[in-house]
Amino acid sequence: MGTVTIGVSIAVPEPHGSELQQLRAGFGDAAAHGIPTHVTLLPPTEVDEASLPAVEAHLAEVAAAGRSFPMRLSGTGTFRPVSPVVFVRVVAGAEACTRLQQQVRDPAGPAPRELQFPYHPHVTVAHGIDEAAMDRAFEALAGYEAEWPCTGFALYEQGADGVWRKLREFPFGGSVVPPQAGRMERGSVPIR
């Protein structure tokens, strides 16, 4: 067995997820269709493939102790000039996301991860594209609004093709499910 690249995130539900993904593609972000629209809890992290069951068990425990909370997106922000990113702001649910990501990245857990930058929950809508397109994204979504109840999160794996595929969902307050239950087979159709 080798290593795999995983990530944990809160999916932005429909119709908002597809809408933001299409807008991201329209701004010229070539990665848009390979990345489901999300709020990151664990950024891309390389782990031993053999550790996936332990990661899943840890995530199931975090989710089982969690409770649903309101999420609301409103307006735009940017990490420029430090990082070439334009995002939609998380204006409700940010504290809950911050707590969750700390639990997911627990140093004593199976996927500890130091962050390159301080955690700031957001939904990326443009990354690494030219400045004029970044400006268009920032302006076009300045009035964007969406809200939903966040009821859980999911584990994703990045394929060799760069596409992120959902491995398993973790609903809040659920019972701890055996690691293989609800898991998609490798090579299954990507989330688009």
Q: What pLDDT is attached to residue 97?
A: 98
Q: What is the pLDDT of residues 5-34, one digit of tens each?
A: 999 999 999 999 999 999 999 999 999 999
Classify residue 110 by burial, with Cβ atoms within 10 Å: 0-12, 13-18, 19+.
middle
Q: What pLDDT is attached to residue 151?
A: 97
Number of CB atoms found within 10 A of residue 129's CB = 20
- The DSSP call for residue 12 is P
Residue 173, phi-psi category: left (phi > 0), alpha (psi -120 to 50), beta (remainder): left
Q: What pLDDT is attached to residue 174?
A: 56
Classify residue 149 by burial, with Cβ atoms within 10 Å: 0-12, 13-18, 19+.
exposed
d(CA 156, CA 163): 10
**CA distances (Å), 114 to each of 5, 7, 94, 98, in order?**
15, 14, 19, 14
Torsion of CA 102, 107, 112, 117, to 10 degrees: 50
Classify residue 135 by burial, with Cβ atoms within 10 Å: 0-12, 13-18, 19+.
middle
Low-confidence residues in the chain, pLDDT < 70: 174-192
